[in-house]
A = this chain, B = another copy of it.
Amino acid sequence: MKFFSDNAAAVHPRVWEAMHKADVADSAYDGDALSARLDDAFSDLFGTECVGLWVATGTAANCLALAAMVPPHGGAVCHREAHIEMDEGGGPGFFTHGAKLMLADGEGAKLTPASISAVIDPIRNDGHQVQPHAISITQATEYGRVYSPAEVARIGSLAQTRELGLHMDGARFANAVAHLDCHPADVTARAGVDVLSFGCVKNGGMSAEALVFFDMELADVVRYRRKRAGHLQSKGRYLAAQVLAMVESDLWLDNARAANAAAQEIAGSAGERLLHPVEANEIFLILSDDEKDALRAAGFGFHDWTVPAGASGAARIVTAWDSDPDHVAALARAITAL
C-alpha cells in the first residue's frame, strides 16, 4: 500500500495503448505525425493558439522554459521551496548557464505579488546586481496548494508590469485544474502565463511531459535547446502518443480527479493533523514517530517530512491516479484510529 509518490505509479492502460499504436516506423525525432499533432491538441485544450513540445521529464521542461526566458546573467523569482530550487539537482543553473533563482516566501509554497515584490523591489538596476527576468510558480505547489485564477492573474499582472516572463511548473497541473473545476486557460493563458510545464508522468504517463508555449516565440529557441540538452528523442512519437492520450480526451482530468478524491478521503480522516489544506493529491500531516511506526507496520508506505515547530513528527502522503480504493479506505481508517 504505497503512498510514497505519484511519480512511481503505473502507466495508464490507454497510454500503453497509444504507445503501441505508435509502434510503426515513422519519421524520427519530432518529424512524425503524432508530434505534429501536439500544437493542435494543446491549442484545442486551452482554447488559444499555442505550441506544444514533448520532453521526458519535469526538470527538463522547467529548465528549458526558464532558459528561454532568462539570460545567463539574469534571474528568476521562485518560492524558496520550489522544486526547481530544492529538487532538480541544480538543473536551472545548468540550463540557464548560471542564472540565479531569487527565493521568495509564501504560505503553502505559493507566491504572492507582495512576496515577489519583496524580493525584486530592493534590486538596484545596475550591473552589480542580478536583474530579474522571470517568475516561476508551481500549480499545484509542493504542498499541494492550488492558485485560483485570480491569484495567478495578479501574479501575471505583476509580471507584465515588470516585464518579466511567467512560467508555471505544472507537474500536477491536472490536479490543480481538477480541484478548481475551471477551464485550464483560466489559470494559464488568460492569467498571463507564458509557458507551462504540463505534467503527465505523475498522472498516468510513462516518460513524457509537455511544454506548452502561450508565448509562442519562446518555443523557437527551445527547439534548438531541447536537442542540445539531449532531450530530442529519436523515437519521439512514443512520447507524443503519451501526451496525446492524455489531452485529446479527458484522461488527464479523470486521472487527476481520481487522485484528488483519494487524497480527500484520507484528508477527511486527518482532522487537526493536517499541516496544509488538501487541494490536490498530497496530504501533509503531523504524525509522531510511534504513529508512523504503527502505520508502516500495518503496511502503509510514505515519506517522512520536515517536522514543523511544536510537532514531534510529520509525514507526506501522496495519492495517484491508480491508488487502490481499498488501500485508501484502509489508510483513512488507520489514521482515524490512531
A contacts, CB < 8 Å to B: 2, 4-5, 7-11, 16, 20, 23-29, 32, 55-57, 59-61, 63-64, 71-75, 86-100, 122, 127-131, 201-202, 206-207, 221, 223-235, 238-239, 306, 320, 322
Contact = CB atoms under 8 A, between A and B. Distances in A.
Contacts of A56: 56, 207, 230-231, 233
Contact of A100 (B10, B64, B90, B239): B90
A231 B64 CA distance: 13
Contacts of A10: 23-25
| Oligomer copy total | 4
Contact of A93 (B28, B99, B122): B99
A22 to B, nearest CB: 9
A127 B206 contact: no
B223 A63 contact: no
Contact of A230 (B27, B91, B98, B206): B91
Contacts of A95: 230
Contacts of A90: 72-75, 98-100, 130, 228
Nearest to A89: B227
B233 A130 contact: no
A277 to B, nearest CB: 25
Contact of A127 (B2, B207, B227): B227
A66 to B, nearest CB: 11
Contacts of A231: 56-57, 60, 230-231
Contacts of A88: 128, 227-228, 230
B89 A128 contact: yes
A273 to B, nearest CB: 23
14 contacts: A2-B25, A8-B32, A16-B20, A57-B231, A71-B221, A72-B72, A72-B228, A73-B94, A73-B221, A74-B90, A92-B98, A122-B306, A128-B227, A231-B231
A235 B209 CA distance: 12
Given A25-B2, A99-B90, A130-B89, A201 B234 contact: yes
Given A71-B221, A72-B94, A130-B90, A57 B228 contact: no
